Amino acid sequence: MNHSYFLESDMSLMEAPERNLAFDLVRVTEAAALASARWLGRGDKNAGDGAAVDAMRLSFNSLPIAGKVVIGEGEKDEAPMLYNGEIIGMGNGPSLDIAVDPVEGTNLLAYGRPNAIAVVGAAPGGSMYNPGPSFYMQKLVVGQAARDVIDLDAPVHVNLRLIAKALGKDTNDLVVFVLDKPRHQKLIQEIRAVGARIQLHTDGDVAGALMAVDQRSEVDVMMGTGGTPEGVLAACAIKGAGGAMLARLDPQSEAEKAAIQEAGIDLAQILDADTLVQGDDVFFAATGISGGTFLRGVQFSGQGAVTHSMIIRSKTGTMRYIESHHNWNKLMQISSIKYD
């Protein structure tokens, strides 16, 4: 038997390691977190968000990419930086669709509450779902073990029992992430009727989706209606983490519903992570700003700061957790962003 033949054949099926753009993206989220964390608890959400946007934009424009913001801070006339459609990067690299939320949870940051994060997703150009006039979508997110048992149209008690079985738990062991909004009163009652436990959060449904797919988290599932742009961002992470998201547009006003229908978008269509972000070469990065059980916040000292981040690459399914120590004396010599 010619063993060398088989070795060569096997090697021909393998790919050489490629550049992981998530390592570049985490520099962007770190910059946003460092800049915005100075505004923790100071009651000014616009100042905190503005600091993050400025830092994120400067960082993006140092990267060798040809990026286009698909999920940004709003339309051009409403957002001076990182607006939908803005071209970012040095222009001499891969063509990428970019999704950003410089501060997911601006109110969390302003009032010193946990789980404000800086978030970026990237995928090949033309692969991201454009939410158009849609602001809200219904979402159901679980980790890898329960990815094949969920049904967006099934009653809450059915989904929770199937999820619990897939996880090898009782339903009263489950923890469900829900946004604490008036629209979720009925959902909360149904979850409690099954006996599952609930984490109520005022903001942050990207963080909620991340918690649902992160094995380190106590959250087992995220349910309820949140932002459509945030759904696209979360899908970038879910694809790499191996979890599942089912979603459907859920307009919260007649004006939003009419705009979606006028745009020719099917309100009945069930979307998943592969619909929201097509392909399998997707990158994601998030850095904690205000801290919490999910990602620790920025810790300042007189000489620098420490940040905590996670990065995900869908092609390999690798999730990395990064603790970075930033030295002001050295960083300020080369950075155009003033962190100290």
> What is the rounded average pLDDT of the residues 265-270?
95
* pLDDT band with cut points at 50, 70 and 90 for residue 88: very high
Residue 282 has pLDDT above 80, yes or no: yes
Please give the CATH number for the structural domain made up of 136-276: 3.40.190.90
Question: What is the chain's mean pLDDT, rounded?
Answer: 91
Phi and psi at 20, nearest 5°, equal -90, 105
pLDDT of residue 74: 75
* pLDDT band with cut points at 50, 70 and 90 for residue 164: very high
Residue 79 has pLDDT above 90, yes or no: no
pLDDT of residue 329: 82
Q: 20 versus 301: which is more confidently predicted? A: 301
In terms of Cα–Cα distance, which of 7, 11, 25 is closest to 309? 25
Which residues lie closer than 8 Å to 218 by C-beta, 6 or more apart? 175, 211, 293
* pLDDT band with cut points at 50, 70 and 90 for residue 250: very high
Q: Which residue ranges make up the annotated binding site?
A: 49, 73, 101, 104-106, 136, 181-183, 203-205, 227, 230
Homologous superfamily assigned to 21-128+281-332: Fructose-1,6-Bisphosphatase, subunit A, domain 1 (3.30.540.10)
Output the pTM of the full model: 0.90
Distance in angstroms (rounded) separating the CA atoms of residues 210 and 206: 6
Residue 100 has pLDDT above 90, yes or no: yes
Q: Which residue ranges make up the annotated binding site for Mn(2+)?
A: 49, 73, 101, 104, 230
* pLDDT band with cut points at 50, 70 and 90 for residue 334: low
In terms of Cα–Cα distance, which of 237, 247, 189, 194 is closest to 212? 237
pLDDT of residue 13: 46
Give yes or no for a contact between 100 and 120, defined as CB atoms under 8 angstroms apart.
yes
Q: Where are the domains of the chain?
A: 21-128+281-332, 136-276
> What is the rounded average pLDDT of the residues 281-297?
93
Residue 5 has pLDDT above 50, yes or no: no
What is the tens place of the pLDDT at every residue in 197-248? Answer: 999 999 999 999 999 999 899 999 999 999 999 999 999 999 999 999 999 9
Distance in angstroms (rounded) separating the CA atoms of residues 66 and 322: 26
* pLDDT band with cut points at 50, 70 and 90 for residue 310: very high
pLDDT of residue 7: 44
Q: Which residue ranges make up the annotated binding site for substrate?
A: 104-106, 136, 181-183, 203-205, 227
